[in-house]
């Protein structure tokens, strides 16, 4: 008898747990493989396996795993995000005591400096951490991996905790598309203790947090924690500068700080009204510091709710533009990934692709554009040789006949012909031909070493 998976009770959980979805997908796969209904609009009727001549259908497990995979996230330099990460089962492991305050500020500082992250606001609650940051280099996933790893390991030692510290759900990352969305989310983050019924005013929260007056000039200093970190490898102190968002000028700093304070006041008022409506009483800062880190939050919270990708506010048409850009990125990513799974390795992914580019070495549109610009810069550098000193000009002119002779000699081999065609194509098309040229050159030399005549 097939196990239908775990049963869950309560209205807070999804009506279709993973086990039942798995069986449903497995039963549906047999129907679809036996000439079932055609695919829905926008869904490809040909799988990557069929493109390679393999008609083996996907199993129910493969379909379930594909359904459970997260959608690709576009990571572009200069983007601002609201990041949230929770503890396992909402344990109060980040209890706002003095040790945890210094630990979070120190780890956030060293992680942000390592990845070029600008911090605009943050607040560490007992069960989760909120950040509002700008990714200047397009390395947000690397920053989150490094920061969360250090945070989990140091918390395990500090709390003498066995097992995972952070929740297994994916980190919530919301891209903030407008300036209004940025200072609104900063106000939301700093007023979060009020909305949770912990303190009446955001300034009373004893946990690690930023202050709006420090935006664009202030800094926070934290000493190295006494747990886990080696004194020989880590600096004794770390200073975190709270930066203004990208594009905000110095003369606009006062207006920005005032807007953030106004946003905090609005969120505080909403939080106090909601606490009164529910009939709660504020816990207070002193009691919050004495909460056991092994206790769990008991307030109701919906599980597996909506996790937004972006947030807009205050700009007409910004939502529609963000939706179009997101759909275009996902469409281009799906097409590139389908070609890669079909066996094509000279695939170019859309700009902002992270995993396939950084971990698997694939090219992306922004990288191709940068390489093309570099090639054009090199060509203009050679053309301007007459304007350089005589020694450099003679060196460039002396190299050119040898380059032409070597290329003419190389065209006698199959790999040389490919390089010759790549030179004729030039630009971005050259990047698609050269990998094939390198592969055929390796095959040519390997066959020659064995005494065989390679095929062209």
Lowest mean pLDDT among 54-58, 316-320, 385-389: 385-389
The answer on 124 and 164 residing in a single domain is: yes
The answer on 433 and 353 residing in a single domain is: yes
The answer on 304 and 371 residing in a single domain is: no
Q: Is the pLDDT of residue 266 over 90?
A: yes
Please indicate, yes or no, if residue 65 is contained in any of the structural domains: no
End-to-end CA distance of the chain: 57
Return the residue matching tokens 């200073």: 239
List pLDDT tens digits, range 79-97: 999 999 999 999 999 999 9
At residue 349's C-alpha, the angle toward residues 344 and 355, to 5°, is 100
| 408 contacts 423 by C-beta, under 8 angstroms | no
pTM value is 0.69
Total structural domains in the chain? 2
Give the other-Cβ count within 10 Å of 69's Cβ. Answer: 8
Please indicate, yes or no, if residue 66 is contained in any of the structural domains: no
Range 161-189 average pLDDT: 95
The answer on 310 and 204 residing in a single domain is: yes
Q: Is the pLDDT of residue 60 over 80?
A: no
Range 387-403 average pLDDT: 34
Domain boundary at 315, 344, 379, which?
315
What is the pLDDT at residue 45?
43
Which residues have CB under 8 Å from 234's CB, separation 6+?
Answer: 110, 224
| 132 contacts 171 by C-beta, under 8 angstroms | no
How many Å apart are CA 127 and CA 87, to the nearest integer?
Answer: 5
> What six digits make up the tokens of 73?
């996230």
The answer on 260 and 143 residing in a single domain is: yes
Range 126-135 average pLDDT: 98
Please indicate, yes or no, if residue 190 is contained in any of the structural domains: yes
Element (H, E) at 45: none
The answer on 228 and 176 residing in a single domain is: yes
Domain boundary at 262, 286, 315, which?
315
Give the domain range for residue 368. Answer: 330-449
**DSSP alpha helix (H) spans, 8-89:** 18-33, 48-51, 60-68
Q: Across all residues in the chain, what is the average pLDDT? A: 77
Residue 287 confidence class, pLDDT cut points 50, 70, 90: very high
> What six digits make up the tokens of 110?
């060293």
The answer on 188 and 289 residing in a single domain is: yes
Please indicate, yes or no, if residue 60 is contained in any of the structural domains: no
Please indicate, yes or no, if residue 294 is contained in any of the structural domains: yes
Range 124-148 average pLDDT: 97
What is the pLDDT at residue 280?
93
**Integer CA distances (angstroms), 214 to 81, 110, 121, 369, in order:** 19, 19, 9, 38
> In the chain, pLDDT over 70 holds for what percent of residues?
64
The answer on 88 and 213 residing in a single domain is: yes
> In the chain, pLDDT over 90 holds for what percent of residues?
55
| 364 contacts 350 by C-beta, under 8 angstroms | yes
Please indicate, yes or no, if residue 58 is contained in any of the structural domains: no
The answer on 119 and 265 residing in a single domain is: yes
Domain boundary at 286, 315, 344, which?
315
Which of the two residues, 145 and 399, has the higher pLDDT score? 145
**Integer CA distances (angstroms), 152 to 174, 240, 438, in order:** 22, 20, 44
Which residues have CB under 8 Å from 333's CB, separation 6+?
Answer: 72, 349, 350, 353
Q: Is the pLDDT of residue 35 over 50?
A: no
How many Å apart are CA 221 and CA 240, to the nearest integer?
Answer: 6
What is the pLDDT at residue 449?
58
The answer on 233 and 350 residing in a single domain is: no
Q: Is the pLDDT of residue 274 over 80?
A: yes
At residue 76's C-alpha, the angle toward residues 71 and 78, to 5°, is 140
How many Å apart are CA 45 and CA 50, to the nearest integer?
Answer: 10
The answer on 444 and 356 residing in a single domain is: yes
Please indicate, yes or no, if residue 145 is contained in any of the structural domains: yes
List pLDDT tens digits, range 289-302: 999 999 999 887 77
> Hey, which of 11-15, 137-141, 249-253 has the most confident mean pLDDT?
137-141
What is the pLDDT at residue 217?
85
What is the pLDDT at residue 300?
78
Say what angle helices 414-425 and 390-410 make with each other, to 10 degrees.
130
How many Å apart are CA 191 and CA 201, to the nearest integer?
Answer: 8
The answer on 278 and 165 residing in a single domain is: yes
Q: Is the pLDDT of residue 358 over 90?
A: no
What is the pLDDT at residue 14?
36
Task: Indicate which CATH number applies to the domain containing 249.
Answer: 3.30.70.1290
For 173, counting Cβ atoms within 10 Å of its Cβ (0-12 exposed, 13-18 middle, 19+ buried), the class is buried
Instruction: Kindly give the pairing relationship between strand 172-176 and strand 310-311.
Output: parallel
Please indicate, yes or no, if residue 73 is contained in any of the structural domains: no
């Amino acid at each position: 008898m097939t196990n239908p998976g775990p049963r869950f009770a309560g209205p807070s959980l999804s009506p279709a747990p993973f086990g039942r979805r798995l069986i449903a997908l497995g039963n549906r796969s047999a129907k679809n493989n036996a000439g079932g209904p055609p695919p829905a609009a926008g869904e490809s009727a040909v799988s990557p396996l069929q493109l390679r001549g393999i008609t083996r259908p996907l199993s129910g497990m493969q379909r379930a795993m594909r359904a459970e995979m997260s959608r690709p996230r576009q990571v572009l330099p200069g983007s601002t995000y609201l990041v949230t990460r929770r503890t396992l089962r909402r344990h109060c492991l980040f209890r706002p005591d003095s040790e945890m305050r210094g630990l979070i500020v120190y780890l956030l500082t060293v992680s942000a400096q390592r990845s070029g992250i600008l911090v605009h606001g943050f607040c560490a609650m007992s069960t989760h951490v909120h950040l509002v940051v700008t990714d200047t280099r397009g390395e947000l996933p690397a920053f989150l991996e490094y920061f969360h790893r250090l945070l989990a390991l140091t918390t395990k030692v500090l709390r003498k905790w066995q097992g995972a510290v952070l929740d297994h759900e994916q980190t919530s990352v919301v891209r903030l598309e407008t300036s209004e969305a940025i200072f609104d989310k900063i106000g939301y983050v700093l007023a979060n203790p009020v909305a949770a019924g912990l303190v009446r005013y955001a300034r009373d929260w004893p946990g690690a947090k930023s202050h709006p007056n420090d935006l664009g000039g202030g800094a926070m200093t934290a000493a190295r924690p006494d747990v886990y970190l080696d004194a020989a490898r880590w600096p004794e102190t770390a200073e975190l500068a709270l930066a203004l968002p990208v594009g905000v000028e110095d003369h606009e700093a006062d207006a920005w700080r005032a807007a953030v304070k106004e946003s905090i006041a609005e969120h505080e008022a909403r939080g106090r009204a909601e606490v009164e409506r529910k009939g709660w009483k504020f816990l207070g800062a002193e009691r919050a510091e004495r909460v056991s880190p092994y206790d769990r939050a008991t307030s109701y919270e919906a599980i597996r709710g909506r996790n937004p990708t972006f947030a807009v506010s205050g700009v007409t048409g910004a939502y529609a533009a963000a939706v179009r850009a997101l759909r275009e990125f996902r469409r281009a990513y799906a097409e590139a990934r389908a070609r890669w799974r079909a066996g094509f390795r000279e695939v170019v992914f859309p700009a902002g692709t992270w995993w396939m580019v950084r971990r698997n070495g694939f090219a992306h549109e922004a990288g191709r554009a940068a390489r093309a610009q570099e090639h054009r810069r090199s060509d203009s550098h050679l053309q301007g040789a007459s304007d350089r000193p005589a020694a450099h000009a003679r060196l460039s002119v002396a190299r050119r006949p040898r380059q032409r002779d070597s290329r003419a000699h190389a065209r006698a081999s199959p790999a040389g012909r490919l390089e010759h065609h790549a030179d004729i194509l030039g630009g971005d098309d050259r990047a698609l031909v050269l990998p094939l040229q390198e592969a055929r050159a390796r095959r040519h030399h390997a066959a020659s070493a064995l005494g065989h005549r390679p095929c062209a």
